């Protein structure tokens, strides 16, 4: 997993509440076990019509937001089924930060394991950032994980809380496998001792 770096740029406004994981990546795309290749189908049923053509007024199809790395979303983002393909699709598209007033617990935790920072802010802050994001290329939102801040275009700064361990993992690019590999010397020593004391196993 790549190390998380501070993000600054255009944010895509998605004010819908209860954006669930089936909206993020519909069930027909869950056959793969690869983390790559799902970005093209992110929000598939909202991005494309029945013939596969882009729906022009969907936010990520608009020129200003095609490369958005930040999404400002409505309440309860990532609810529904626990599919990890949802953060896979977001990350493959290029999204690094999702800002909302609340997230579904499983989705929230899966974000950290896949290099995405989910930021929880009060409604007043999210509303202000949503308005800011609506300005398109005329606005820039900056997210600083080290200092745990989100800055709006006008310089207003909002602080957010994040678990210290999850923050450490994001900043150092550590998913579950990466955390395990940090203990590889201890694992090797255990296996050597285990083989010596119980060679018949």
**Residue 110: band (very low, low, confident or very high) from pLDDT cuts 50, 70, 90:** very high
pLDDT of residue 179: 59
In the predicted structure, residue 26 carries a pLDDT above the cut 90:
yes
Domain map (residue ranges) of the chain: 7-173
Determine the length of the chain: 201
| Contact (CB, 8 A) for 88 and 109 | no
Residues in CB range of 45: below 8 A, 6 or more apart: 23, 26
Query: pLDDT of 74-109, one tens digit each?
Result: 999 999 988 999 999 999 999 999 999 999 999 999
In the predicted structure, residue 118 carries a pLDDT above the cut 60:
yes
Fill in the DSSP letter of residue 80: S
pLDDT of residue 90: 98
**Residue 184: band (very low, low, confident or very high) from pLDDT cuts 50, 70, 90:** low
In the predicted structure, residue 191 carries a pLDDT above the cut 80:
no
Strand partners, 176: none
pLDDT of residue 188: 61
In the sheet that holds 117-120, the strands lie side by side as 11-14, 70-73, 97-100, 117-120
Least Cα distance to 8 among 69, 65, 91, 94 occurs for 69
pLDDT of residue 176: 64
Helix 105-113 to helix 85-93 angle (10° resolution) is: 50
In the predicted structure, residue 131 carries a pLDDT above the cut 80:
yes
Report the phi/psi class of residue 86: left, alpha or beta, with left for phi > 0 and alpha for psi in -120 to 50: alpha
In the predicted structure, residue 201 carries a pLDDT above the cut 90:
no
Tokens 């950290």 belong to residue = 112
Q: Is the pTM of this model over 0.85?
A: yes
Report the alpha-carbon distance of residue 121 to residue 99 in Å, rounded.
7
> Residue 5: in which H helix or E strand, if any?
none
Options 3.90.79.10, 3.40.50.720, 3.40.50.11030, 3.20.19.10; CATH for 7-173 is 3.20.19.10
């Amino acid at each position: 997993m790549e190390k998380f770096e501070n993000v600054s740029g255009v944010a895509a406004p998605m004010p819908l509440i209860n954006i669930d994981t089936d909206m993020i990546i519909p069930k027909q795309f869950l056959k793969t076990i690869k983390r790559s290749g799902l970005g093209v189908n992110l929000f598939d049923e909202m991005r494309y019509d029945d013939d596969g053509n882009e729906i022009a007024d969907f936010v990520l199809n608009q020129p200003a937001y095609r490369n958005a790395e930040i999404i400002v979303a409505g309440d309860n983002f990532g609810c529904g089924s626990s599919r990890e393909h949802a953060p896979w699709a977001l990350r493959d598209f290029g999204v690094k930060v999702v800002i909302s007033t609340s997230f579904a617990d499983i989705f929230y935790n899966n974000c950290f394991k896949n290099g995405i920072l989910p930021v929880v802010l009060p409604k007043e802050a999210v509303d202000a950032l949503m308005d800011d994001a609506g300005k398109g290329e005329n606005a820039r939102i900056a997210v600083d994980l080290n200092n745990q801040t989100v800055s709006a275009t006008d310089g207003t700064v909002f602080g957010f809380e994040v678990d210290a361990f999850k923050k450490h993992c994001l900043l150092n690019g550590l998913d579950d496998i990466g955390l395990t590999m940090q203990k590889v010397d201890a694992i090797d020593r255990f296996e050597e001792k285990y083989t010596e004391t119980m060679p018949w196993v």
